[in-house]
């Protein structure tokens, strides 16, 4: 009976810590297989099945849909957007190395961004948190700007704005590099100075 009391006490402490840190949705999502829905606070929705684009379930993996690039953005930004779109459909690998030749098959979100800009002659830091500190904040994105989201921690996801409210990013192992709507939690933008 004493062991049961300790289990209840430990579980209560963990629940209090999760609520205090506002991390309970993420723990619950991990346990239940759901993910917080971007743009809807802490609402939990089931993980989309492999092969389904989490930004737009009607689109398949790597589907970019109708993404007109327009003429906004700098020359570097337009080149970055074009390179980003050329990487759609590649695989995701957490901690993937930066490869400026763009010949690798797998990226995580920040290695995709650093690889694309590195290929264009502009060096960016390795992590999304560092990348957020290295860009000029902007309130309205232009093509090629970086888009940052805060899913589990501040600036823990990054992608490249390609126009028409679309972002290319390396999402996760089930979905790889995809393009979709820029409606992430903690959304903000930064311009690469190149």
Q: How many CB atoms within 10 Å of residue 113? A: 28
pLDDT at residue 63, rounded to an integer: 36
CATH of domain 56-191: 3.90.1720.10
8 Å CB contact between 161 and 179: no
CA dihedral sign of residues 71, 73, 79, 85: negative
Is 70 exceeded by the pLDDT of residue 154? yes
Q: Read off the tokens for 50.
A: 């492999």
- Enclosing H/E stretch for 26: helix 24-32
The answer to whether the pTM exceeds 0.85 is: no
Distances in Å between the Cα of 93 and the Cα atoms of 18, 40, 96, 134 are: 28, 26, 5, 23
Segments making up each domain of the chain, as ranges: 56-191
The winner for highest mean pLDDT among 5-9, 66-70, 98-102 is 98-102
Work out the percent of the chain whose per-residue pLDDT is above 70.
Answer: 62
The pLDDT-based confidence of 180 (bands split at 50, 70, 90) is very high
- The torsion of the CA quartet 100, 101, 106, 107, rounded to 10 degrees, works out to 10
């Amino acid at each position: 009976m004493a062991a049961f009391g300790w289990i209840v006490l430990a579980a209560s402490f963990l629940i209090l810590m999760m609520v205090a840190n506002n991390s309970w949705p993420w723990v619950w999502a991990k346990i239940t297989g759901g993910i917080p829905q971007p743009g809807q606070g802490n609402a939990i929705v089931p993980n989309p099945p492999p092969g389904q684009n989490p930004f737009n379930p009607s689109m398949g993996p790597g589907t970019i849909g109708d993404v007109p690039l327009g003429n906004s953005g700098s020359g570097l930004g337009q080149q970055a957007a074009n390179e980003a779109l050329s990487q759609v459909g590649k695989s995701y690998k957490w901690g993937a190395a930066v490869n400026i030749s763009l010949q690798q098959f797998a990226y995580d979100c920040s290695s995709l961004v650093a690889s694309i800009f590195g290929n264009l002659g502009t060096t960016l830091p390795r992590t999304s948190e560092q990348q957020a500190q290295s860009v000029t904040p902007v309130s309205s994105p232009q093509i090629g700007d970086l888009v940052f989201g805060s899913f589990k921690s501040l600036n823990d996801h990054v992608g490249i704005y390609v126009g028409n409210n679309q972002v290319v990013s390396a999402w996760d192992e089930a979905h790889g590099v995809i393009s979709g709507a820029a409606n992430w939690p903690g959304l903000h933008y930064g311009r690469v100075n190149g």
